Chain A
Amino acid sequence: MAKRIAVETTLNGEETVFLCEPRQTLLEALRDNLGLIGSKEGCGNGNCGACNVILDGVLVNSCLVLAPEIEGRSVVTIEGIAEDGVLHPLQQKFLEHASLQCGICTPGFIVSAKALLDDNPAPNEYDVRLWLAGNLCRCTGYDKIVRAVLDVAENDA
């Protein structure tokens, strides 16, 4: 087995050091090494978006990042979206609009939507649907998710 690597990173705003094997993905390191199990493995190959995190301000699939790659970089996961125990407006609106059923895709959608609103605080429906096209949900039919995101966008605008 290859030697384990110590990785120093900023994780949800906190300086963090963890050990990983070079072959581990960021998703595996988050879930198995760091106990952050909010990010989900849906497909494991970049198709479904359930593992999405924000890496140095850019939305990425954590299943397609090797854990050692994040040395010195900044990662925001679903666990970093709420602040001081208060739900982020996206999380609140997902609840109000019933934008989830089984919930597996939800962390990825919320992280993706957060990255969208950081990039464009007032997206229209087309912008939202295009941005979220790489997130798959097999329960909701997407409509309630899109409405929740638009509701937050309108409140911010």
Chain B
Amino acid sequence: MQAFDFVAPTSVDEAVSALAAGGGRARPLSGGTDLIAQLQEGRLALDTVVDVKRIPELMAISISDDGLTLGASVACQSINANQAIRDAYPALIDSTHLIGGTQIQGRASIGGNLCNSSPAADSIPNLIAHSVTCHIAGPNGRRSVAAEDFCTGPGRNVLANGEFLVAIEFPAPPANFGAAYLRFIPRNEMDIAVVGAGASVVLSDDKSTIQSARVALGAVAPTPLFVQEAGDSLAGQPVSEETLAKAADLAREAAKPISDMRGTIPQRKHLSAVLTQRALRIAIDRARGTKTVDELGRLNGHG
């Protein structure tokens, strides 16, 4: 790797200063599973690497009746090991269980997955389905952005010079809420999504009607794609295969994939519909309390 300076600030303000001083040639380091690989391969050249994991706020997990706030650098492994998160946000575990293998999960963070801003990122459709808010610090103070507005292109996002992601905030799940993330890959493990789909629903108290829903897709557009019309089509509709199929059709229409080594346009459009419908089914099962994270884990090929 080419030479760079390394700093490990212990406060958000120090990190902002270090990043702002570096201009476009300073980057925050969390788990490094993308950043260090990109530096190794010469795809990224930096003057300064700012290790943000010594900042308590970036490593904090806060879960309460108000929701879940995840420090941007919290590793997937820490999320997987947190029983309160597994109970309240099982769909988040769908993502953290399938990002890389054991040793990648020991380092990779949801914040890093978001900031790497891959169109195929396995956490982002999930964050969109959960209506997550991204908290950003920078030279001009703090600001917040909705997850669906964070990515602006492949590897690009709203972060300006000197800004970095501090935390992501999940609202408290409303009553009768359920969510799920599914991806398609041609093998059992260790692959990048051909298509991914995140979905969430809020059901009526008798659990027969969908009050609201959100659908987001991965790997079918230059950014993770919020398919608002698919979720909106379900509002006020009965829980039925017909209504889910209609939402799935809207997801297929919204998908604007490319053909590449992982899949073709027709395959990805087809998968967009299939995965949307399946993710919605699981979200509904979870809202009804009839599916656990472990059952879904097996659906995704994970113990």
Q: Which residues of A contact B (CB under 8 A)?
A: 1-3, 5, 21-25, 44-47, 49, 52, 55, 58-61, 63-66, 68-69, 71, 112, 115-116, 126-127, 130-135
Contact of B104 among A46, A115, A126, A127 (CB under 8 A): A46
Contact (Cβ within 8 A) B3 A64: no
Q: Are A59 and B106 in contact (CB under 8 A)?
A: yes
Q: B53: CB under 8 A from chain A?
A: yes
B49 in the interface (beta carbon within 8 A)? yes
B190: which A residues are within 8 A, CB to CB? Answer: 47, 133-134
Question: Could you say which residues of chain B place their CB within 8 Å of the CB of A49?
Answer: 101, 103
Q: In the complex where A45-B40, A46-B37, A49-B101 touch, is A130 in contact with B107 (Cβ < 8 A)?
A: no
The residue on B at minimum CB distance from A52 is B103
A64 touching B51 in the complex, CB below 8 Å, given contacts A22-B4, A133-B190? no
Considering the chains assembled together, what is the distance between the CA atoms of A118 and B40 in angstroms? Answer: 31
Q: Name B's A-contacting residues (CB within 8 A).
A: 1-6, 8, 29, 31-33, 36-37, 39-41, 49, 51, 53, 75, 77, 100-104, 106-107, 188-190, 302-303
Residue in B2, B4, B41, B102 with the greatest tally of chain A CB atoms within 10 Å: B102
Given the complex of chains A and B, what is the CA–CA distance between A69 and B32 in angstroms? 11
Q: Is A58 within 8 A of B100, CB to CB? A: no
Please tell me which one of the listed residues B40, B104, B302 contacts residue A44 in the complex, with CB atoms under 8 A apart. B40
Please, which residues of chain A bring their CB within 8 A of the CB of B29? 66, 69
B90 to chain A, nearest CB (A): 18
Closest B residue to A47 by beta carbon equals B190
